[in-house]
Amino acid sequence: MTSNPALRCQQLSKHFGDFCAVDQLNFEVAEGSFFSILGPSGCGKTTLLRMLAGFESPSSGDIFIQQQRVNDLAPNHRPLNMVFQHLALFPTMTVGENIAYGLKRQKVAKAEQQKKIGEILERVGLPDAANKAVTQLSGGQKQRVALARCLVLQPKVLLLDEPLGALDLKLREKMKLELKQLQRDFGTTFVYITHDQSEAMVMSDKVAVMNHGRFEQVAAPVDLYLKPNTPFVARFVGNTNMLSAEVVSQHDDKVEITTLSGLRLRGHSHQQLSVGQRVQAYIRPEALHPLNGADQGSFENLIVTRLNQDIFDGANSMLLAEFEGQQLQVLLPLQQRSRISDNAGSLDGSELKLGWNAEHCLVLDDSPEPIADSSPEPSSKSSPELTTDKRSEA
């Protein structure tokens, strides 16, 4: 990666008794980047963050901040700051005093403090808030004050512990974009933990997907979405459909599979699979194209399903279809809607032909390992850039 990472962890582990919360992690975070750690609750991400901040000590392994080993540094001596889950703005102080608290510890002169407080509040868009009580602020304003309180200290790394969790949906969408913008403006290295894959995708330069104390995959959001390495990542990041199948043949990354009823499908895989092996085919809802009547399109895979439900949600409208006892979600853009629906007045129970290409059909071995807690908050909504989202899996 980079020659001089802002943060580096080596063989970092944390055990609580027999339980291994963080399992021999090795990773680097590039200077000035937005790095997210995404995982279901209980995956060890909070423990990892608390170790970075210094509130937990690692069972083994090392943490480096800009080449300096910080394992033995107390939290108040580490060159990083943290935005807490519930922000932890001191309720007995005004906004200005909250920001001044850290500056006083850095022994900044009084006049200089006031100047810095004014500047930082200006930059986070709250120029007149210095004398306000914390309780007078709205949720989004508190968020910005919490950020300002840390950023004014110019930390080498800023840790964020799901700070958007307490906000309502609309505000969270707004704050996502705002946070990303602020990170770019300040150029500070952000390490952000969340269980909301949409937050991670929208804001991050790199996302680490964490499960059972390990990183399943560390990649840019696009790669994570298009080329998930493991079944866990495929299911956890974004919305996806799964079809059970067996391998018929494999040539390089091209795989031919057969479904339960013997239907041949084409897909791709980076894994080395053996003939007859049980696999899952992962197809994103937006890769499935509903076809009308005799229309075959130019798709490599075609199936006929039974339409169960038509869920209208504007740009995120979905069709739920059943194939071999498995539920499939099909994204239905508005312009395609008319094509489908003038075919049949009531859609329920009718036949629906679906087509998709091999490049959108990822084949991975059928992992027997159950997923800790794979359904994140149902309230998370898709962002403008990325049209799909993890919804409650039917």
Partner 1 sequence: MSQQRWQFYFLLTPFLLWIGLLIIWPHFNMLEVSLTERSWTQGDSFSFKHYLLFFQQSLYWNTYLRTAWMAILATFITLLISFPVAYYIAKVAKPRSKLALLMCCLLPFWLSELVRAYGWMILLRESGIISGLLQAIGLADAPIEMLYHDATIILGLVYSGMLFMVVPLVSSLDSMDNSYIEAGFDLGGNRWHIFWEIVFPYAMPGVVSGCIIVFMLNLGNYLIPNLMGGKDSLWFTEMVYTQFITRFNWELGSAFGILLLVLSSLLVWLALKLSGQSLSTTVGR
Binding site for partner 1 (CB under 8 A): 53-55, 74-77, 81-82, 84-86, 88, 90-93, 101-102, 104-106, 149-150, 153
CB of 86 or CB of 170, closer to partner 1: 86
CB of 66 or CB of 244, closer to partner 1: 66
CB of 13 or CB of 98, closer to partner 1: 98
> How much of the chain is helix, strand and coil, in % rounded to 5?
25, 35, 40
CB of 144 or CB of 149, closer to partner 1: 149
SS3 for 322? strand
Question: Residue 283 Cβ, how far from partner 1 at the closest point, in Å?
Answer: 42
Residue in the structure block whose two tokens are 């399109």? 297
Sheet order of strands, 189-194 included: 80-83, 157-161, 189-194, 34-38, 206-211, 214-219
Helix ranges (DSSP H) in the chain: 45-53, 95-105, 110-123, 139-151, 169-186, 197-203, 221-226, 231-236, 334-341
CB of 108 or CB of 257, closer to partner 1: 108
Question: Residue 49 Cβ, how far from partner 1 at the closest point, in Å?
Answer: 11
CB of 134 or CB of 245, closer to partner 1: 134
**Could you tell me if 41 and 94 are in contact, meaning their C-beta atoms sit under 8 angstroms apart?**
no
The identity of residue 63, as a single letter, is I
Question: Residue 116 Cβ, how far from partner 1 at the closest point, in Å?
Answer: 14
* Residue among 294, 372, 292, 272 nearest 337 (CA): 292
Which pairs with CB-CB distance under 8 Å and at least 24 residues apart come from 374-377? 374/40, 374/232, 374/235, 374/236, 376/40, 376/195, 376/196, 376/197, 377/195, 377/196
β-pairing, 34-38 with 189-194?
Answer: parallel
CB of 158 or CB of 291, closer to partner 1: 158
φ, ψ of residue 311 in degrees (nearest 5): -110, 110
Question: Residue 162 Cβ, how far from partner 1 at the closest point, in Å?
Answer: 12
